[in-house]
Amino acid sequence: MQTTFSLGTIDWAIILIYFVFVLGIGWTLKKYMKDATAFLEAGRSLPAWVTGLAFISANLGALEVIGMAASGAKYGMMTVHFYWIGAIPAMIFLAIFMMPFYYGSKARSVPEYLKLRFDEKTRGFNAFAFAIMTVFASGISMYALALLAQVIIPMQIDWNFLGIHIGEFDFYLFVSAIIVLVYMVLGGLTSAIYNEVLQFFLIVIGFAPLVIIGLLDIGGWEGLKANLPENMIHTWKVSGSPDANPMGVEWFGILMGLGFVLSFGYWCTNFLVVQRAMAAGSMSAARKTPLIGAFPKMFIPFLVIIPGMIALALTNIGELELPLKEGTMITDFDKVIPVMLMKYMPVGVLGLGLTALMASFMSGMAGNVSAFNTVFTYDIYQSYINRNKPDQHYLKVGKWTTVVGVLVSILTAYVARSFNNVMDFLQLIFAFINAPLFAAFLLGMFWKRTTGHAAFWGLIGGTIAATIHHGLTLPAKATVGVKGGFINVLHTYPSEMAQNFWTAIYAFSTALLLTIVITLVTRRLKSDEDLKGLVYSLTPRIKDDSKYWYQKPGFMAIVAGAIALALSIIFW
């Protein structure tokens, strides 16, 4: 197996054209960025098909391409649970029930919705927590892009700047940050969204040949199954107990931890994806956005998980050698995709595959930075630091916040290096932030009695519960530190993902119970009139304006749910 990429002229040309195109989109849109609404909200004017593809592509960054391929090699077919049970039901719920609240309230962000529904302190807590989450997620994409660049263009870099050592990884980290920074500052959210649509098609076109060639080499689906352990080729069949599958999670942990808490917490409350739907030109387009995205989402596992499984199968028969984490005997699953590209992709197609990989990382970085600058500008700066300024002032703040977001993301990229699967790391962040937040949303949207005090202390309590559980548990073979056990090791989980699922369950359950109890002993401060459009029972039913019956959100939701169910049964 080759150890470095052998790029031809056509490969370099494809990569160069991509970067010119990305920066060109930002430059073209620069003239439209005349106010904060255009820069931070895309003017709420985009068509549903654009926001629908951007909705998926914003999530199709390092999390999916590097993380899911790594999980495919580490956990096998059980990784598809992140799609068919861990995404589609929540996306349907977001479209049918939650988008009317987000879009109808005219809130500019998820934290701003929390202010309208509850109070200022609940908004403030979520805004700061979300800001932290987005820079960590952006850092993961940045880390992945620098990791790829190291493999594509190996350079002997050993610089010393003001006493700080700069190596090959550090150099590529800063270069990737500068590229994203330029096109985000130029074109804002609109630039991020249109680039995400471009990146979606690039990823599909770039990775399809890798899957096809890899399957042909291993002997098709039957050949793949023959060279993997039995427990890595099923989804639900091996979920009877933690010991029966490589993920170390039983069916309850999957359904409750992933299928309900983490899934609904991410897709229904994460402003990164909700922001794409809120950029749509109408309520109908906003509701269709997650549903349009749901159809390609169901089939993305075949592009990103299968390569990881093929890599493991080839390793089992001695035709491939997966690299180790530096200085350890732990497999570096994050390098599965670069290794597979090196093995299979010929000149020309290799450039397309590498461009698709870069596109996924850029998408993840830009998506998180665009969400960060909106939340910081509106929910932190405007609310707590400098109120009642002209719109142009907030436009400048939004651009400077983009710079700060990229700089902080560089720091978090170094934290991501301690995990051998970035998906494990990201799900840990979601367990701390999205799990308790979903409890507040669930009660707030469907129980008008829920109070602001209860939601706030529920969020605090849920986050503390996640911290305690993480501090008292540790994944097998892990060392005490970022991965847990910093209080005391009372329980060891079979894997990082099993620990994440249960951390999310404890965080959500604590937040839910606390919010209910505190609601019952506190007085409701908002009247029914105040809560119109914010609570399900007090909101008039939406009259959909779709021209044809097959375009209606309800019908699209049924079809998407039926396909996800059928796929789950086929790969039982």
CB 527 within 8 A of CB 512: no
Residues with Cβ within 8 Å of residue 59, at least 6 apart in sequence: 272, 273, 367
Tokens of 173: 């980290």
* Average pLDDT value for residue range 195-217: 83
* Average pLDDT value for residue range 524-540: 84
CA–CA distance, 17 with 157 (Å, rounded to integer)? 26
Please tell me the predicted confidence (pLDDT) of residue 40. Answer: 53
**Which of 34-48, 119-133, 550-564 comes out lowest in average pLDDT?**
34-48
* Average pLDDT value for residue range 166-177: 76
CB 372 within 8 A of CB 405: yes
CA–CA distance, 111 with 122 (Å, rounded to integer)? 8
Bridge-based pairing of strands 491-493 and 473-475 is: parallel
Please tell me the predicted confidence (pLDDT) of residue 17. Answer: 83
Range among 185-194, 219-228, 270-279 rated most confident: 219-228
Model pLDDT for residues 99-133, shown as the tens digit of each residue: 887 777 666 777 888 888 898 898 888 888 888 87
**Which of 155-159, 367-371, 403-407, 564-568 comes out lowest in average pLDDT?**
155-159
DSSP string, 319-332: S--PPBPTTSSSB-
Please tell me the predicted confidence (pLDDT) of residue 66. Answer: 76
CA–CA distance, 413 with 45 (Å, rounded to integer)? 34
Candidates 1.10.287.70, 3.20.20.140, 1.10.10.10, 1.20.1730.10; CATH matching 9-418: 1.20.1730.10
Model pLDDT for residues 454-482, shown as the tens digit of each residue: 999 999 999 999 999 999 999 888 888 87
Judge whether residue 3 has pLDDT over 50. Answer: no
CB 240 within 8 A of CB 329: no
CA–CA distance, 22 with 197 (Å, rounded to integer)? 11
Angle of helix 168-218 versus helix 336-344 axis, rounded to 10:
60
CA–CA distance, 570 with 558 (Å, rounded to integer)? 18
Residues with Cβ within 8 Å of residue 527, at least 6 apart in sequence: none
Q: Which residues is 473 bridged to in the sheet?
A: 491
Please tell me the predicted confidence (pLDDT) of residue 462. Answer: 95
Query: What are the two backbone dihedrals, phi and then psi, of residue 164, each rounded to the nearest 5 degrees?
Result: -105, 125
* Buried/exposed 351-380: b ≥16 CB within 10 Å, e otherwise: bbbbbbbbbbbbbbbbbbbbbbbbbbbbbb
**Which of 17-21, 81-85, 275-279, 316-320 comes out lowest in average pLDDT?**
316-320
**Which of 122-131, 305-314, 420-429 comes out lowest in average pLDDT?**
420-429
Judge whether residue 512 has pLDDT over 60. Answer: yes
CB 69 within 8 A of CB 245: no
What type of residue is 203?
I
**Which of 96-105, 297-306, 377-386, 425-434 comes out lowest in average pLDDT?**
96-105
* Average pLDDT value for residue range 324-343: 69
Cβ of 384: how many Cβ atoms within 10 Å?
13
Which pLDDT band holds residue 367 (cuts at 50, 70, 90)? Answer: confident
Look at the block and give the residue holding tokens 């999205």. 434
pTM: 0.77
Query: What are the two backbone dihedrals, phi and then psi, of residue 324, each rounded to the nearest 5 degrees?
Result: -105, 155
Query: What are the two backbone dihedrals, phi and then psi, of residue 43, each rounded to the nearest 5 degrees?
Result: 70, 10
Answer with the residue of higher pLDDT: 381 or 60: 381
Look at the block and give the residue holding tokens 């069916």. 251
Answer with the residue of higher pLDDT: 328 or 47: 47
Bridge-based pairing of strands 164-167 and 158-161 is: antiparallel
Domain ranges of the chain: 9-418
Sign of the CA dihedral running 420, 307, 413, 135: negative
CA–CA distance, 371 with 138 (Å, rounded to integer)? 10
What's the mean per-residue pLDDT of the chain? 80
**Which of 65-74, 365-374, 436-445, 493-502 comes out lowest in average pLDDT?**
365-374
* Average pLDDT value for residue range 535-542: 78
